[in-house]
Chains A and B, each alone.
Chain A
């Protein structure tokens, strides 16, 4: 299960700047403010619809997301679409600290159409961690309808239409029977096509299991 792209899903190309920690104006010491920001823009100032955002967490506790959308010319507003989404249930402990997350459109507070820039605001209130960030950020557009399927979909939709009670009670309705049998046949074909996952259980190679030393790689 490596890689997030399924059929028809490729991540949008984008340039993400590294996480920048919040600095207080005039502050000279290297403080650890616990807030960092990652800005993401699409190349050449383009805009795109965003369906899903996938990333790997690295010790970020809460995530807020703001987007800038293409719109009438003039100063662009940042709109908050996710507020303090909890990634680590307990910020002092390891739970969720290196997990993979998905943010989907239906979780957002605003529309994700024609987005020009994304701003990830990362918060980690616990002083226990030295660094925090999010990694492997990928943004996906809405998926296109996939034309391929396992077998023609019309075959699976063969439900017989409602018919009046057959006048011949002894024999079943031939239409109905043939529909059912066709469905059964298609299912059997599908099952046969899939490989069984049964193990054979042999551990030797061609009847030989002469092993000298273990390998370190």
Chain B
């Protein structure tokens, strides 16, 4: 491993390189230059005086927030000898599995293309462009014929791939032994047990106030809620990302949530960000992508049918269509195990100068993808800010839910964590479900892949996503899934088939997330 000194200097060098071309850098330079006119800046102590000025005017805090954001998003640097694919995914067999899975998706998309005789991308004729521009705010009223389109894949297809994931160097013998896991996932990744989770999620403990528990009607607000809101307002006034991330671990007050999440994700909606969004919008108008039809279909099938989210249908199109054309998303592929699909301009097959990524952001949406955006519509009403928040959430968290990797927040680790927690703490339930052919992961997989969006009530979902942001990890999804099974254990012990088990767990909309998590982690007698 890297020793601490060289690791630190590599991290510093990488952050400096990433921040150098950014708008924050030019703003800091401009501020420093403007400050030269001020009387307190003296030539003899130029460097120190400018540094002090930046500190008092709040610019140093912005820089701190930007550095903190970089540290959170990018993993720690690899060993210099490691090739770039090692940073994406250190285990060779997982890289291979991800590559084959991607190839399957490409084949599926290509065959849909050839069947329907629609090109993957083409320029829109001028009349169509004008029409779309007029209809931009009400694309939901469109009813295009999408019957021939089908989603490229659904979460259950992905689960089949994960079930067949094997390490060729692992002893996967036929005889049942300690090496064969009883669940569906058979790769020996390291997952945390309850004592470790208790330590990591210590702010969810019984002695700490939580929004979602201690703000209920029976608890007088003087005990916790009023003070918590006051602290939240102070954190917002300080504009400190790290403090905000620590604060939301106990939940966000509804009024402050939008600003706190923007602070944690370091989104400030500057004029250049709005301009960037407008540029993406013009790309949507100019070019027509096949992926757009997939997005339309997905929104119509999922969000439009949901009681809570159907009102936001137009917003979803405005965000997702622009998302497909955003090349800055390509940056996240340096630390994701996935690779963006490649193609060539028509007629120039194989010529590298005409190689492009398709879609421009490299992400092919699957069934349910629009549910990542839907809950955010409750918080942000301005399209460019909503867009940036979603994009940042995607490149920090959501991409891990649909790619094969060994990362502790990757979907494979989450599945294994869920199965291990259930097996360890509810062994009778686990055994019973296995015997009746209802492997628990078959039911909980779809919850975790969508980060519970569309399954929980929205206020509960936002409380859950508060913790995802606060702990910068998706492990809380696996813990919640296990906690839900624990909650309904009595009913589940009586079922005799997979369908009946699904029925018991079909409706999660009445569940309260925080008490479930707290009881499962801190109050279950083992």
Contacts and interface: CB of A to CB of B under 8 A. Distances in A.
Are A and B bound to each other?
Answer: yes
Interface in A121-142: 127-131, 136, 138
B121 A211 contact: yes
A111 interface: no
A201 B327 contact: yes
Given A93-B188, A197-B21, A216-B106, A211 B345 contact: yes
Interface in A171-209: 172-173, 176-177, 180, 184, 194, 196-199, 201-205, 208-209
B346 to A, nearest CB: 4
A1 B120 contact: no
Given A94-B167, A94-B189, A180-B46, A204 B346 contact: no
B3 to A, nearest CB: 6
Interface residues of B, number: 67
Nearest to B121: A211
B78 interface: yes
Contacts of B328: 199, 201
B84 to A, nearest CB: 7
Contact of B1 (A98, A102, A129, A211): A102
B345 A203 contact: no
Nearest to B288: A209
A101 interface: yes
Contact of A213 (B44, B91, B110): B110
Interface in B157-202: 167-171, 179, 187-190
Interface string A21-60: 0000000000000000000000000000000001010110
A95 B190 contact: yes
A130 B21 CA distance: 48
B103 A213 contact: no
Given A98-B92, A203-B360, A216-B106, A210 B22 contact: no
A184 B109 CA distance: 56
Contacts of B487: none
A3 interface: yes
Interface stretch (B301-309, B336-344, B390-398, B492-500): B336-344
A97 interface: yes
B135 interface: no
Contact of B287 (A4, A196, A204): A204
Contact of B342 (A131, A196, A215): A215
B327 A104 contact: no
Nearest to B187: A94
Nearest to B290: A211
A128 B326 CA distance: 44
Contacts of B92: 98
A214 interface: yes
B223 interface: no
A54 B120 contact: no
A201 B341 contact: no
Contacts of B79: 54, 99-102
Given A130-B171, A136-B81, A211 B344 contact: yes
Contacts of A212: 113, 119-120, 343, 346
A2 interface: yes
Contacts of A59: 169
Interface stretch (B58-66, B140-148, B350-358, B509-517): B350-358
A208 B360 CA distance: 13
A211 B119 CA distance: 6
Contacts of A209: 121-123, 287, 345, 356
Contacts of B239: none
Contacts of B325: 203
Contact of B80 (A4, A176, A180): A4
Contacts of A202: 327
Highest count of chain B CB atoms <10 Å: which of A1, A58, A99, A180: A1
A163 B101 CA distance: 70
Nearest to B325: A203
Contacts of B109: 214
A211 B18 CA distance: 31
Interface residues of A, number: 55
Contacts of A205: 345, 353-354, 356
Interface string A1-14: 11110100000000
Given A92-B188, A211-B346, A215-B343, A173 B20 contact: no
B73 to A, nearest CB: 15
B90 interface: yes
Given A104-B3, A196-B21, A128 B170 contact: yes
Interface string A160-175: 0000000000001100
Contacts of A156: none
Contacts of B86: 99-100
A172 B44 contact: yes
Nearest to B364: A214
Contact of B82 (A1, A194, A214, A215): A1
Given A93-B188, A102-B79, A210 B123 contact: yes
Contacts of A97: 90-91
Contact of A197 (B18, B42, B107, B345): B18
A4 B190 CA distance: 29
Interface string B1-29: 11100000000000001101110000000
Contacts of A138: 81
Nearest to A196: B21
A170 B1 CA distance: 56
B406 interface: yes
A129 B171 contact: yes
A211 B106 CA distance: 14
B211 to A, nearest CB: 34
B149 interface: no
Interface string B32-56: 0000000000111010000000000
A180 B42 CA distance: 11
Contacts of B346: 210-212
A169 to B, nearest CB: 12
Given A4-B80, A93-B188, 8 more contacts: A1-B81, A3-B81, A97-B90, A131-B169, A210-B119, A211-B120, A211-B358, A215-B343
19 contacts: A1-B81, A1-B84, A2-B83, A94-B167, A94-B406, A102-B81, A130-B171, A136-B81, A176-B44, A177-B44, A196-B20, A197-B20, A202-B327, A210-B346, A211-B346, A212-B343, A213-B113, A215-B343, A216-B103
Closest 8 CB pairs of A and B: A196-B21, A203-B360, A198-B21, A100-B79, A4-B81, A93-B190, A197-B21, A211-B121
